Amino acid sequence: MASKTLLRRVLTTLSSSSIGNPKTPSARRCSSLSAASTEAPLPPSPIPPSIKSSTRVPSSLNEAEVAKFAAIADTWWDFEGPFKPLHWMNPTRVSFIRSSLCRHFERDPHCARPFEGLKIVDVGCGGGILSEPLARMGATVTGIDAVEKNIKIASIHAESDPLTSSIEYCCTTAEKLVEEQRKFDAVIALEVIEHVADPSGFCKSLSALTVPNGATVISTINRTMRSYATAIVAAEYILHWLPKGTHQWSSFFTPEELVLILQRASVSVREMAGFVYNPLTGEWSISDDTSVNFIAVGVKDSH
């Protein structure tokens, strides 16, 4: 399988590199680009995000990132709005997650609702574009987000379909769910880790929410010159798919860094794949090319 071959390459790179000693860098409801300039900034120096253990903090929230996404919350279900790239990518993300979780939990991938009986939390759920397909596949879904407006929009949209109206949406954080001793069979955080203040603490919270032998799924953007050219320069400054400043290149992660962060959080990565966009067809596909967008599926240690 391509994802397994890719993971072996990542682990080989990890074992032969010095990344092991990184430098320290810079429905139920609960309440808990601008036309003036198109000149993209130069990429910052490639300093890896901190993956050292740190003193536990109440939350890994980055308040500036929360405010940034709160400002465009109304557009979550506008297929031509700021979240257009996520809507385009979403079917490919869902397809990979469905296949991976069916393999892990030994479910029939041809079944209409293969996730019946599984409890899944969608961390950083936004307007619910992942939570809803998970619910349609039979999962008992909890969607959480730090932006209250996102939760309201997700809740309203979910009510329109009987298969999604049972999603539990909460304005809260992963850390707060840990304090509440919540546990899930699968914990999913897509395009979230690059926006948090403490990636290491965030991954430890995701791990704490995952039952032993459960699945932890994270997707993010690789820190390469190609990702800078496509995810920032092209997407934000040329094509105007995203508002300028949506991403900070220095906050991206290499696959090796993500594997190491998860290892230190007692999660062993078992699968990895890239998502590749074809500008000629306008379609996304699963690939072993992780130079821009990639996803990792890990298993929580049983001890």
191 marked among binding-site residues = yes
Give the 3-state secondary structure percentages of the chain, helix then strand then coil, rounded to 5: 35, 20, 45
User: Rounded to an integer, what distance in angstroms lies between the CA atom of residue 43 and that of residue 26?
Assistant: 15
Q: Identify whether the C-beta of residue 135 lies closer than 8 Å to the C-beta of residue 202.
A: no
108 annotated ligand-binding residue: no
194 labeled binding residue? yes
- 110 in a known ligand binding site: no
Distance separating alpha carbons of residues 216 and 207, to the nearest angstrom: 7
Check if the beta carbon of residue 300 is closer than 8 Å to that of residue 267: yes
What's the rounded Cα separation, in Å, for the pair 228 and 247? 9
Q: What tokens appear for 202 in the block?
A: 């965030």
Please write down the long-range contacts of 158-163, taking CB distance under 8 Å and 24 or more positions apart.
158/27, 158/128, 158/131, 158/132, 159/27, 161/132, 161/136, 163/135, 163/136
Distance CA 273, CA 143 (A): 24
Q: How many residues does the chain have?
A: 303
For residue 42, give the amino acid letter: L
Residue 179, annotated ligand binder? no
Q: Token pair of 289, please?
A: 């090319």
- What token pair was written down for 8? 């072996």
Known binding-site positions: 93, 124, 145, 190-191, 194-195
Known binding-site positions for S-adenosyl-L-methionine: 93, 124, 145, 190
Known binding-site positions for Mg(2+): 191, 194-195
